[in-house]
Amino acid sequence: MHGGVDFSESIVLDDERLQALSRLNPLAPLHQPHNLSGVRAAQRAFPQALQVACFDTAFHRSHPFVNDTYALPRELYDQGVRRYGFHGLSYEYVVDRLKQIAPLHEQGRVLVMHLGNGASMCAIRDGQSVGSSMGFTALDGLPMGTRCGQLDPGVVLYLLKEKGMTPDQIGDLLYLRSGLKGLSGLSQDMRELEAARTPESMQAIDYFVFRIRRELGSMAAILSGLDAVVFCGGIGENAWRIRERACQGFEWLGLELDELRNRSGETVISSDRSRARVFVIKTNEEMTIARHTARLLASAST
C-alpha cells in the first residue's frame, strides 16, 4: 500500500525492507499491516519464492513540490509528513490502457477518477501524476464508502479536546464510520443508496457528487484544461447516474456526455461535440502488480 518517501518503484523484499515498510503502518492502517502479514505468511510457506512489493503511492512520486507538501514547518516535510497520494496501481493501469486505445489523449492532460469504496482523483500530464486528491493518508480528498474524505483538521482537535475521544476512537470514526455510510446511516454501497432513496441516502449521494465536481474543477486548474477524463473503479465503471451528474454543466470546460453511450457504459461516453473525450475503463490493479512482479522476477533470474 504505502512506500513512503524511499520506495518510488516496485521492489524485491528482504528483512530490512520489510522492517522499513512496517514503520509505515500508521500511514495506512487499513492495508499496510495486513499486506505485510500476508508477505510473512508467504515467506514461511514458500521460503525460496521471490516476494515483491508494488506500491499504491509510487505512481505519485512525480508530484511537483506544491502538490507534495503541506504548509507546515519544513522539518516535518523532511521527516515524511507530505502528500503521497494513493490508487497509483490503478492509475498506472489506466495510463497503460489509454496508450493502447487513445495514444494521443494519453500524452495530454488527463483526469482519472477512481471511484469506489475507496475514491480519489488524479491529474496526469504526459503520463505522469501531477496532482492527487489523496494526501498523507488515504483519508483525504473525496468522501468514500466509510472514510470521511477532506476534513478541517480543527474537527480532530475538537473531538480530542471537547468530546474526549481517544486517537483510536477518532481513527475508527474517520476510517470506518464516516463517508457514504456515515452520511446515509444506511450503507456504503452506492447500489443500495440509489435503491433506498431515503432523504439521508440522497444527501449522501449529493455530497459525493458535489465533492467530485469540486475536485474536477481543481484538477482541471492544475492541468490548465482537459483533453480526457476517465472513470474507473466500482462506482466509476458502473454507476451511470454518478457519471452523468459529475459531468453535468461542465460544457464550458469542453466536457459533454452522450446520454445513451453513458447509460450503456460504452468505453467512450462523451458526445461527438465534446472537446475532451470521456472514457470508462475497467481498471485492473492486479495486472499492474503482475507486470511489475514478472519484470523483477526476470531481472532476478538473469
Contact 228, 254 (CB under 8 A): no
Among the options 6, 56, 227, 272, which is catalytic? 56
Where is 279: in which H helix or E strand?
Answer: strand 277-280
Q: 92: how many CB neighbours lie within 10 A of its CB?
A: 24
The rounded distance, in Å, linking the Cα atoms of 94 and 114 is 10
Listed in sequence order, the residues at least 6 apart from 227 whose beta carbon sits closer than 8 Å to its beta carbon are 105, 108, 109, 110, 276, 277
Place of cell 449529493: 206
Known catalytic residue: 56? Answer: yes
Q: How far is CA 290 from CA 54, 84, 287, in A?
A: 9, 23, 5
Contact 247, 229 (CB under 8 A): yes
DSSP code for 4:
T
* Catalytic residue list: 56
